[in-house]
Chain A
Amino acid sequence: MRVIIEEIKKDFRILLAYPIEIAFWIISPLLWAIPLIFQGKALIGGLQSTAFGSLAGTGEYIPYVLIGAIFSTYMFTAVWNMGNALRNEMFYGTLEHILSSPVRPFYILVGKGLYNSLLSTVFVIVQMLICAIFFGISLTINKVLPMAFFLMLLVVGLYGVGFIAAALTLLIKEAHGILHLFEYILFLFTPIRYPVEVHPITRTVSLIIPLTYALVALRGILLGIKFDFLKNSLILLGIDMLIVPLGIWIFMVIERRTKKRGTLAHY
């Protein structure tokens, strides 16, 4: 427990050394959504689309896109920060020290995962407030609890993915681009920007990604779109139960392999 707390404290200290990053992570997801709003205006000339409504359950594409952008913050931090966690230690020259300390690397990664979850939650709260003030997204107290429930299920699943991303970095070292590609794949196959029902391939692939169910539920709660609460929570729970042990197992296998081959600190 002390190791996890120390890891969280250390990561916060590093973040505070680069305060510009905090502003960036709060504003960027919203900025990334703005071109989609302009594109929507150029294509349909209004704020409502019938075609979009038949696929998404709401014709109002602006709140749809904004909610996707806000909650994708969790995905970015899980994929990016977890994926780059060990690579950054490598660049700082501290990877070998950390991995040779008398703690299991698993706890260090759990610390990094918890740090990222806390940070993402702070960012998401600020972004939600910005959207409530400027875009009129309604936030009521009775929505908070079900949202927190789905976010918890989402975060657990994403950190399973984060463990795999960290393992990937140990294996192929320069994983920056691969993580970028992974992020694009999530954009393509999950309803972050558009309803995946738009194409049979996106609809099929989205079924195995936890973000899909979380976004359907979160949009349902926030925009009043009908969704199956029980089905979405059970599927998310099922994916979490599968992906977290899988992520930990993959990380441990690759970590052992890199140590055995002596490639841990290779660039």
Chain B
Amino acid sequence: MNRIIHYIRAINAENMKEWRIELKYKPDFIRQFFAPFVYLLPYFLYGVALLGGRFSEHLRSITGVSDMIAYTFIGYLIMGFLNTACWAMGWSLRKEQWYGTLDTIFAAPVPRWVYVAGMAAHSTCHQGLIMFIQALVITTFFAISFKTAGIFLVLLIVALMLIGLYGLGVLIAGLTIGLKQWWVISEALGTLMIVVTPIAYPLAVLPVFLKKISLLLPTTYGVMGVRHLLLGEHIDINLGTIFLRLMLILVVWVTLGMGVFMLMDRYGRKKGFVSLY
């Protein structure tokens, strides 16, 4: 029990440290609350340019939802959590290396995963806050209406997806120890997930091989499940299957992430390249 409390205190210390560092760079801190809007608008405008308006007959015929803005918005909102995994967690170790504090942190009396978990806790809080504001502003501005009956299930799906993404974050953090250029790994994996996840389009438009890859990602079930519950999108699989597959993916991804992280950590220390650039 004492050990768990000790770990929780370390996770919280890491979380607080990150808030303190971020608040030191005020322009960047403020920027983080504006960036998601600027990021989203090109996708809306691209859709408007293609359709000449907001509603798509073809989208309605394949998904049951004709509002392109609402459809695209939900997809990208959910994908905001990908930043948590790919950027915040993946970047965590490389950043400490740049600050010159990696060796000091690694010498602290807690396992390495506690440190990465602290980064995950911080990023989830921070990203959650950003996404909440984004959701509030976009839904008001574009007058998007959602079905609220399944909100509990929506939160559950997001929570399961998020834990699955933590597995990816830990995996990236582990690969960073060996491959050093963390951002390439983060960007590459993030980009591949964005391509394959049905963010602004249904699974039906993906080629068969991408569809198969897509079914291995937690984000696919996260986006599909949430859009089904909030917008009534027609999906080929039922909610029970979505939960089941999410749980399965969660176990696999977290195990794989932890495995790679511990392997790379041990290998890095053995070869003496943990603090190499």
Taken residue by residue from 46 to 63, chain B's Cβ proximity to chain A (1 for < 8 Å, 0 otherwise) reads as 111111110010110111
Q: How far is the CA of A41 from the CA of B50 in the complex (A)?
A: 10
Q: Is B195 an interface residue (CB 8 A)?
A: yes
Q: Is B270 an interface residue (CB 8 A)?
A: no
Q: Is A233 an interface residue (CB 8 A)?
A: no
Q: Cβ of A194 and Cβ of B195 under 8 Å apart? A: no
Report the minimal beta-carbon distance from B38 to chain A, rounded to whole angstroms: 4
Report chain A residues within 8 Å CB of B188.
Answer: 24, 28
Known contacts A51-B49, A193-B42; A42 and B205 CB within 8 A of each other: yes
* A-to-B contact residues, CB < 8 Å: 18, 20-21, 24, 28, 31-32, 34-36, 38-45, 49-52, 54-56, 61, 91-92, 172-178, 180-181, 184-185, 187-188, 192-195, 198-199, 202, 267
Report the minimal beta-carbon distance from A70 to chain B, rounded to whole angstroms: 16
Q: Cβ of A172 and Cβ of B25 under 8 Å apart? A: yes
Main secondary structure of the interface of B (DSSP, over half): helix
Q: Cβ of B46 and Cβ of A177 under 8 Å apart? A: no
Report chain A residues within 8 Å CB of B191.
Answer: 28, 31-32
Known contacts A41-B201, A45-B58; A180 and B35 CB within 8 A of each other: yes
Q: Cβ of B181 and Cβ of A202 under 8 Å apart? A: no
Q: How far is the CA of A38 from the CA of B214 in the complex (A)?
A: 14
Q: Is B110 an interface residue (CB 8 A)?
A: no
Taken residue by residue from 128 to 158, chain B's Cβ proximity to chain A (1 for < 8 Å, 0 otherwise) reads as 0000000000000000000000000000000
Report chain B residues within 8 Å CB of A40.
Answer: 50
Report the minimal beta-carbon distance from A26 to chain B, rounded to whole angstroms: 12
Q: Cβ of B205 and Cβ of A178 under 8 Å apart? A: no
**Which B31-51 residues have C-beta < 8 A from chain A?**
31-32, 34-35, 38-39, 41-43, 45-51
Q: How far is the CA of A180 from the CA of B191 in the complex (A)?
A: 15
Q: Is B179 an interface residue (CB 8 A)?
A: yes
Report chain A residues within 8 Å CB of B58.
Answer: 42-45
Report the minimal beta-carbon distance from B29 to chain A, rounded to whole angstroms: 8
